[in-house]
Amino acid sequence: MVSMPGSIAFDEFGRPFIILRDQEKQKRLTGNDAIKSHIMAGRQIASTIRTSLGPKGLDKMLVSGDGEVTVTNDGATILKMMEVDHEIGKLMVQLSQSQDDEIGDGTTGVVVLAGALLEQAESLLDRGIHPIRIADGFELAAQCAVKHLESIAEPFPVTKDNTEQLVKVAMTTLGSKIINKCHRQMAEIAVNAVLSVADLEKKDVNFELIKIEGKVGGRMEDTALVKGVVIDKSMSHPQMPKTLKDVKLAILTCPFEPPKPKTTHKLDVTSAEDYKALRLYEQEKFTQMVEQVKAAGATLAICQWGFDDEANHLLLQQNLPAVRWVGGPEIELIAIATGGRIVPRFEELSADKLGIAGLVREISFGTSKEKMLVIEECKNTKAVTILIRGGNQMVIAEAKRSLHDALCVVRSLIKDSRIVYGGGAAEISCAVAVAREADQLSTLEQYAFRSFSVALESVPLALAENSGLAPIETLTELKSRQLSEKSNTLGVDCMLTGNSDMKEHNVVESLHSKKQQIILATQLVKMILKIDDIRSQGDF
């Protein structure tokens, strides 16, 4: 309920009452009218994103206020960048974001399912069923669907020795993305990156150790996994060596510059002698700082701040390569990877605080000779970087989003190593199970169960529609085959190969992801069905 600003007054008996301002301008919807208004807003969002579902789904082009263009079919990104005014529309955006935060994949499917549930809820309301009974029925049906998913899930081997199965799941995730031109390569990069930082005993993956860096130029096939850290910087002086071996890094957050007078003091330079004395003092301080770094045994200085040409020249003279203007997150990642400590003052620098790396090299790209620094063979081998190449920034941004989805799915499998089959196979199987359960019920909730079953079928319907197939005929055939063959692996043949067995296509999804989609979509619809009063200024 959206409350408007008002003021409290008191009657002659001291009882408070609220006077609402601009009452004649307000529009108020209550009861089923309010719920239908919500449902319409939610369905509009779902219908917008429905065409992006599946490997043949269409991309969306989004143009920001300042003219920046984004082309993507990632549900969470599309909804985040859409300008949604309706409050229920904003809840749908948050639903997609919740799925993205929790799982990282299935952001389009969860919104399509929520939209289908809202559509079914509307028809139940028209039949005179109370919204609370519909919401409760949907929740019970969701529990039934999740229970069925658990029963049809298959165990999935996750080991560092045999990565083939994980690669197949990552390929399923990337099948609908722009980077499927180098499908297997990207899937292998995602799997190797996650396994490099994963703790399989604790079933934990630290995403902080995986950095995704993009560089315009080259082909997408040039994308590589670097066992170390890549930073978009170069050596501070062009004459410094481009390759260093057995490096000891001083990681500094203090600048190479002499101490400045505080703001309450001032320094007057009134003659040439004063200026020379100041210059000598600065040079002496620079020399002292460089000597302190060298005395600690450092062979490379990584500095968060910049330094002027004089300090830079002095570093070159003293044979101390340096990198300046390295950002905070990169500094932290370098410290984790090399086992070094971040040093805030030169006086605190010592040999035990230095990071260790086997190789530091500068690489350049294309005709523009843009440079990046690669820190490899680190003390902590778990830190990795995925370096994405592409023709322009838009392609690289979409590749980053796609790889993030693949990384998240592999992480989900390490946490819960059970899978179900994709292509709508799991949804059809759940729809059949929920419809079967509805026949056993004698209460009013049986109508909600049947509607939930129909809503689950919206995912295979959308997949068939987006693939150019006849949706109803495809769904009917798959349902009858699943029942007659007692198979849970038959789904929509999106690639038009003539084979609907998702097991043979290796189209598999994380059980955790599929369960989360059903649970989140049901929770949102239940919440919407319980809002029966809207007050708004102007159009809502």
Residue 392 pLDDT? 84
Residue 151 pLDDT? 92
**Is 70 exceeded by the pLDDT of residue 2?**
no
Q: Locate tokens 């007057």: which residue? A: 268
Kindly report which listed range (58-62, 179-183, 184-188, 404-408) carries the lowest average pLDDT score. 179-183
* Alpha-helical regions (H) of 153-243: 164-174, 183-197
pLDDT tens for 36-68 read 888 888 898 899 899 998 888 888 898 888 888
Residue 535 pLDDT? 57
Kindly report which listed range (254-263, 325-334, 487-496) carries the lowest average pLDDT score. 254-263
Choose among 398, 372, 377, 402: nearest CA to 387.
Answer: 372
**Is 70 exceeded by the pLDDT of residue 80?**
yes
pLDDT tens for 368-383 read 677 888 888 887 777 8
Q: Other CB atoms closer than 10 Å to residue 296's CB: what's the count?
A: 18
pLDDT tens for 418-437 read 888 888 899 999 999 999 99
Mean pLDDT of 403-426: 87
Kindly report which listed range (23-37, 46-60, 77-91, 387-401) carries the lowest average pLDDT score. 23-37
Residue 28's H or E segment, with its range, is: strand 26-30
What pLDDT band is residue 237 in, cutting at 50, 70 and 90?
confident
Could you tell me if 29 and 534 are in contact, meaning their C-beta atoms sit under 8 angstroms apart? yes
Mean pLDDT of 15-33: 66
As a whole-number percent, the residues of the chain with pLDDT over 70 amount to 92
Q: What is the residue-averaged pLDDT of the chain? A: 84
Residue 540 pLDDT? 40
Strands 322-323 and 370-378: unpaired
Q: Locate tokens 């989900």: which residue? A: 412
Residue 68 pLDDT? 85
Catalytic option among 108, 223, 338, 474: 108
Q: Which domains does the chain have, with CATH numbers?
A: 27-155+421-537 (1.10.560.10), 228-380 (3.50.7.10)
Tokens of 44: 């509009």
What pLDDT band is residue 457 in, cutting at 50, 70 and 90?
very high
Catalytic option among 51, 70, 72, 74: 74
**Is 80 exceeded by the pLDDT of residue 264?**
no
Mean pLDDT of 167-187: 82
**Is 60 exceeded by the pLDDT of residue 154?**
yes
What is the CA 153 to chain-centroid distance, rounded?
Answer: 25
Catalytic option among 51, 72, 77, 107: 107
Mean pLDDT of 135-148: 94
Mean pLDDT of 26-42: 77
Residue 24 pLDDT? 57
Q: How many angstroms separate the CA atoms of 45 and 86, rounded?
A: 10
Q: How many angstroms separate the CA atoms of 46 and 41, rounded?
A: 9
**Is 50 exceeded by the pLDDT of residue 33?**
yes
Q: How many angstroms separate the CA atoms of 326 and 339, rounded?
A: 17
Overall size of the chain counted in residues = 540
What pLDDT band is residue 6 in, cutting at 50, 70 and 90?
low
DSSP state of 258: P
Known catalytic membership, residue 367: no
Tokens of 6: 């008002």
Q: Other CB atoms closer than 10 Å to residue 348's CB: what's the count?
A: 12
Known catalytic membership, residue 405: yes
**Is 50 exceeded by the pLDDT of residue 347?**
yes
Residue 366 pLDDT? 65
CA distance readout (Å), 481 to 432, 477, 491, 495, 501: 12, 6, 10, 19, 11
Tokens of 141: 């049906």
Mean pLDDT of 194-201: 85
Could you tell me if 205 and 194 are in contact, meaning their C-beta atoms sit under 8 angstroms apart? yes
Known catalytic membership, residue 108: yes
Kindly report which listed range (184-198, 256-270, 312-326, 401-415) carries the lowest average pLDDT score. 256-270
Q: What is the dihedral of CA 31, 34, 35, 41, to 10 degrees?
A: 180
Known catalytic membership, residue 163: no
Q: What is the dihedral of CA 83, 84, 85, 89, to 10 degrees?
A: 180
Which residues lie closer than 8 Å to 162 by C-beta, 6 or more apart?
A: none
**Is 80 exceeded by the pLDDT of residue 460?**
yes
Kindly report which listed range (128-137, 285-294, 401-410) carries the lowest average pLDDT score. 285-294
Could you tell me if 225 and 406 are in contact, meaning their C-beta atoms sit under 8 angstroms apart? no
**Is 60 exceeded by the pLDDT of residue 357?**
yes
**Is 50 exceeded by the pLDDT of residue 537?**
no
What pLDDT band is residue 166 in, cutting at 50, 70 and 90?
confident
Which residues lie closer than 8 Å to 395 by C-beta, 6 or more apart?
A: 178, 220
Catalytic option among 405, 474, 493, 522: 405
Which residues lie closer than 8 Å to 7 by C-beta, 6 or more apart?
A: 18, 19, 21
